[in-house]
Homo-oligomer: A and B are copies of this chain.
């Protein structure tokens, strides 16, 4: 979604706020998977085959890490590792994650501005049948197959959105909640202390995009979580209802797929204006088209 807006060029002054609840430390390195995926995508470096990591990657370090007995279930390629090495060194030297991220993004000349939601450590934990798991242990190591009984965000209570995030929200004309998992991707950002107030105080138009199409998640375990955590069937309307319930008065409009057009009335009844479009983004052009449609819709006053 961010890449779609980035492709619109000068027309959009783009700021992306990334979730850092998925961050982890491996081999002593600080890894920010969500920030990196956005950064690599906007830099044109994303691996199109995996949806994560860097294209034209090599795996020499990992082979040696294996020999040293390190756990390598979280696959870090050689090019990707440079990001984690530099990030870790600069964080250890006292630089804020926000500033490290800006420096990395500038080095890769990405369009727009990528901000971590917070410089404070927040770690998403997931309750499986056998206990609490670190997010990436659940997501990557176990392949998000465990039914998720609960989610918590360690560190959230003492974390704050950065001044940069707060300023970006305050200045925004349009805030798009990308098609993401409401429970583990959107919630860590929206539930930062002070964040909802900041969002509600903004004069921006808030447009959510459904991560569910035809009852299935575009990617990842959002559908399963709607059932296990949201006590709802997996549907676009259930996501809209989740936002309307969790963040009352925030979302002005919700974009659902053509194939879910039948949910329009139900969503409208929540006080949210539905926008029905083709939201499955398979190509760069799809991304750009959807971004343009959301922009046009918002410009027309929702």
Contact = CB atoms under 8 A, between A and B. Distances in A.
A81 interface: yes
Contacts of A259: none
A227 to B, nearest CB: 39
Given A88-B28, A92-B28, A83 B107 contact: no
Contact of A60 (B60, B68, B69, B93): B60
A79 B58 CA distance: 11
A36 to B, nearest CB: 12
A65 B82 contact: yes
A79 B107 contact: no
Work out how many copies of this chain go into the complex.
2
Contact of A86 (B70, B86, B93): B70
Contacts of A108: 67
Contacts of A78: 58, 60-61, 64, 78, 81
Contacts of A62: 82
A53 to B, nearest CB: 12
Contacts of A82: 60-65, 67-68, 70
A190 to B, nearest CB: 31
A28 B85 contact: yes
A68 B104 contact: yes
Interface in A79-102: 79-83, 85-86, 88-90, 92-93
A81 B61 contact: yes
A29 interface: yes
A60 B65 CA distance: 16
A246 interface: no
A27 interface: yes
Interface in A208-258: none
Nearest to A28: B89
A89 B65 CA distance: 12
A57 interface: yes
A62 to B, nearest CB: 8
Given A60-B79, A61-B85, 16 more contacts: A27-B89, A58-B78, A60-B60, A61-B61, A62-B82, A64-B78, A64-B82, A64-B83, A67-B82, A68-B82, A68-B86, A68-B103, A68-B104, A68-B107, A70-B82, A81-B85
